[in-house]
Amino acid sequence: MTIQEQYSHLEKTIRSYNPSADFDHIRSAFEYADKCHEGQKRKSGEPYIIHPLAVAQIVAEELKLDSESIEAALLHDVIEDTPAEHADVARLFSPTIADLVEGVSKLTRIQYATKEDEQMENLRKMLIAMSKDIRVILIKISDRLHNMRTMEYQSPEKQKQKSLETMEIYAPISHRLGMQRMKWELEDLSLKYLDPVGYQEIVSRLEAKKTEYDMFMQKTRAQVETRLDELGISHLVYGRVKHPYSIYRKMFNQNKNLDEIFDLFAFRVIVDNVGDCYNVLGVVHDIFTPILGRFKDYIGTPKPNGYQSLHTTVMGTDGIPFEVQIRTRDMHEVSEYGVAAHWKYKQNGQGAGAEGKYEWVRRLLENQEGADAEEFIHSLKIDMFADEVFVFTPNGDVQNLPAGATPIDFAYAIHSAVGNRMVGAKVNGRIVTFDHVLKNGDIVEILTSKGAKGPSRDWMKIAKSNEARSKIRQWFKKERRDENIVNGRAAFEAELKHCGLSMKDLLGPDRLPGLLKKVTYTTLDDMYAAIGYGGFTAQKAVSRMQGELQRIAKQQAEKQALEALENAPKAEEQPRSSAPKQVKSEQGIIVEGLDNCLVKFSKCCTPVPGDEIVGFITRGYGVSVHRSDCPNAAPERRADPALSGRWIKVSWGSDTNESYPTTLEVVAKDRMNLLLDVSAALSTTKTFVSGIHCRSTDDGFAIARIEIRVRDGEQMHSIINKLNQISGVLQVTRPSG
């Protein structure tokens, strides 16, 4: 066929379903594209215009789309591959057509990397979201279909890569949009390149048995048609052998050979109304024996993509099973052309209600399982995924964010450590401000620094995602812990007083743990902090503790024992003299005014020589040494009258131990050999390691807790420095509290 003949064929196809199409415009689109692509050749050696013409043919033949879509299909490569620009197309044709062409070009520019399933799902959504106008994706799928049909001219690598993309992205989108025929063809063409041997095996088997299969189908079809004619049910019956990829998948999934595949044959009966669907079902079940458990009523319960039909599998003559699908003409139209069928209705002036018909598209794209009531109202917006934006990380992962999201949202979606250390952001290689609104397909890179000051309060207003806001809040919550504890404590004590209780009633090692258990906090400070922050209330705390207190009050004897215990440590105050004298140290610790007392290092903050420290006289375990900055030794705890006399000055002696155990926590981007580099750093610093616990987070980070023994703070800081130099390490901290 010459190019002119092909064009005439296209016009004829359009005329068959849309006689009032704008043929003048369509012709000038064809002529303009032909001129733009002049001199360009396809890999096959043919003139390039063959391709846009074929895509327009698919758009017309398979999807029966409107004039604008046909023109856009003819022009779909001019912006991408020729000097023509959006403005030219807008001026010569229409702004809408220019947008459609630009939209298709944008999708063409997306780079895919083979990824796990979840990433594929996001990529599909991104494609749909970027399409904005559903016609963009319909043209893009038609473009891909023609490219797949002519894939034989490409290099083997390109064949594999495009086939994989088609199988993972375009076939599933076609399925979701309800376009079964295009989906089948895309799958079969992909399979041809992805598993040539498997594909060929099925195709040649089907070919070899063609006569046999044809005879079976003819006979079966005649049996059904005769009975329907007798009953006066008007009908159309089609029989077909399932398409190669669907057979392939069944053979693969069920580990069966071609003869064992259940539904090799499928029949379709198209009738006028829903009532007849069930009548035909009765007829089919009467002629053939139905196979149990294979009947499905998708008329009563449509599939998420809007598909409606009755399905049953029956045993044919000669023991060959086959599937029968029964549906009305309308249902059939939707199943063949999917969303395009709706588009067609709209174009024919039946626009009213078209939006309603789009609801399911959006819903199923968003969630295959269906949606709740709130989602349903949401879905009345025609713009697909209007409330989401899809962007790339520098290594090609897709991040799904709420519409209007900024680099702040992106950074916190990656990891809170990335957000907290963010000092700048790049979008598509350019530095942007923190309030820059991200667009679909943007490549976003976050610049971090170990010296970052952390989030500012403004970020909370800029961020669009709850995740980012809550992580920023979390940061402030942690940073302001001291303040929260003071406020929480005041509120709690006021509430206690109100209920006629005092702190004294609560304290004591035999009471406090039980009481804290009632409020599910480990320490009083944790509870204070929660009250101060607003995550818990003083009223709730006191009322939950009250019951427990009443129980305790009854146990008088125990109470007396507790009092005795509480008085015991007071004895230690006596040896304290006004002029502190240097005494022998214990484990390198000098306890002011106390000789030979038992010293232990707190596990919460693991102090090492050089740290500022403070002691706490425990009940029965001697003096526990904390770092001064340990939350368990916070100023308000030290000022607590109930603990007065138990905080004691301690200092490092000159005869410290050879080493002290301490813990470091490393947060890093997870990668190969990370742990290897960490161990190398530890071994070059000659660090004694007593344990490493490493875990990976779902979002690609690794958190390592390293238990080491160090001589003093100096050695520890040099270790921290060394760890900080490892590529990918975001922060190294000493955990406390």
Stretch that binds Mn ion, among 77-85, 400-408, 528-536, 712-720 (CB under 5 A): 77-85
| DSSP class per residue in 539-564 | HHHHHHHHHHHHHHHH-HHHHHHHHH
Q: How far is the CB of 82 from Mn ion (least distance, A)?
A: 12
Q: How far is the CB of 143 from Mn ion (least distance, A)?
A: 4
Q: How far is the CB of 141 from Mn ion (least distance, A)?
A: 11
Please identify, using beta-carbon distances, which residue of 141 and 666 lies nearer to Mn ion. Answer: 141
Strands (E) in 556-678, as ranges, are 589-591, 599-601, 613-617, 623-627, 647-648, 650-652, 660-669
- Please, what is the end-to-end C-alpha distance for the chain in angstroms? 80
Cross-strand bridge partners of residue 664: 706
Active-site residue identified among 11, 34, 61, 80:
80
Here's the x/- map for Mn ion, 28-67, by CB under 5 A: it reads as: ----------------------------------------
Q: How far is the CB of 55 from Mn ion (least distance, A)?
A: 6
Report the distance separating Cα 68 and Cα 193, nearest Å: 33
Please identify, using beta-carbon distances, which residue of 34 and 201 lies nearer to Mn ion. Answer: 34
CA 191 to chain centre: 28
- The answer to whether 298 and 306 have CB atoms below 8 angstroms apart is no
Q: How far is the CB of 33 from Mn ion (least distance, A)?
A: 11
Q: How far is the CB of 52 from Mn ion (least distance, A)?
A: 7
Interaction with Mn ion in 407-466: which residues (CB under 5 A)? none
DSSP code of 170? I
Helix (H) / strand (E) element for 424: namely strand 422-427
B/e letters for 374-397, b = 16+ CB within 10 Å, e = fewer, are: eeeebbeeeebbeebbbbbbeeeb
* Residue owning tokens 């045993």: 315
- The answer to whether 90 and 98 have CB atoms below 8 angstroms apart is yes
Report the distance separating Cα 695 and Cα 292, nearest Å: 49
Report the distance separating Cα 476 and Cα 465, nearest Å: 17
Active-site residue identified among 11, 34, 61, 81:
81
Please identify, using beta-carbon distances, which residue of 77 and 526 lies nearer to Mn ion. Answer: 77
The residue of the chain with the least Cβ separation from Mn ion equals 143
Q: How far is the CB of 160 from Mn ion (least distance, A)?
A: 19
Tokens of 35: 């001129």
Beta-carbon contacts of residue 478 (< 8 Å; ≥ 6 apart):
none
Three-state DSSP at 163 gives helix
Stretch that binds Mn ion, among 74-82, 358-366, 381-389, 592-600 (CB under 5 A): 74-82
Please identify, using beta-carbon distances, which residue of 79 and 418 lies nearer to Mn ion. Answer: 79
Stretch that binds Mn ion, among 70-78, 95-103, 247-255, 365-373 (CB under 5 A): 70-78
| DSSP class per residue in 125-157 | HHHHHHH-SHHHHHHHHHHHHHHHHTGGGS-HH
Q: Examine residue 586 and tell whether it contacts Mn ion (CB under 5 A).
A: no
Residue from the set 71, 77, 526, 586 that interacts with Mn ion by CB under 5 A: 77
Residue from the set 143, 165, 168, 333 that interacts with Mn ion by CB under 5 A: 143
495 is a catalytic site residue: no
How far CA 236 is from CA of 63, 233, 263, in Å, comes to 21, 10, 20
Interaction with Mn ion in 212-231: which residues (CB under 5 A)? none
Backbone angles phi, psi at 464, to 5 degrees: -100, -25
Q: How far is the CB of 76 from Mn ion (least distance, A)?
A: 6
Neighbours of 78 (CB within 10 A): 22
- The answer to whether 49 and 37 have CB atoms below 8 angstroms apart is yes
How many residues sit in the footprint of Mn ion (CB under 5 A)? 2
Please identify, using beta-carbon distances, which residue of 49 and 530 lies nearer to Mn ion. Answer: 49
B/e letters for 296-321, b = 16+ CB within 10 Å, e = fewer, are: eebbeeeebbbbbbbbbbbebeeeeb
Please identify, using beta-carbon distances, which residue of 152 and 387 lies nearer to Mn ion. Answer: 152
81 is a catalytic site residue: yes
Report the distance separating Cα 586 and Cα 575, nearest Å: 17
DSSP code of 348? T
Stretch that binds Mn ion, among 137-145, 197-205, 341-349, 496-504 (CB under 5 A): 137-145
Q: How far is the CB of 51 from Mn ion (least distance, A)?
A: 6
Tokens of 356: 């309603």
Q: How far is the CB of 67 from Mn ion (least distance, A)?
A: 20
Please identify, using beta-carbon distances, which residue of 85 and 207 lies nearer to Mn ion. Answer: 85
Q: How far is the CB of 120 from Mn ion (least distance, A)?
A: 22
Beta-carbon contacts of residue 527 (< 8 Å; ≥ 6 apart):
488, 492, 516, 519, 521, 536, 541
Residues making contact with Mn ion (CB under 5 A): 77, 143
As annotated, the active-site residues are 80-81
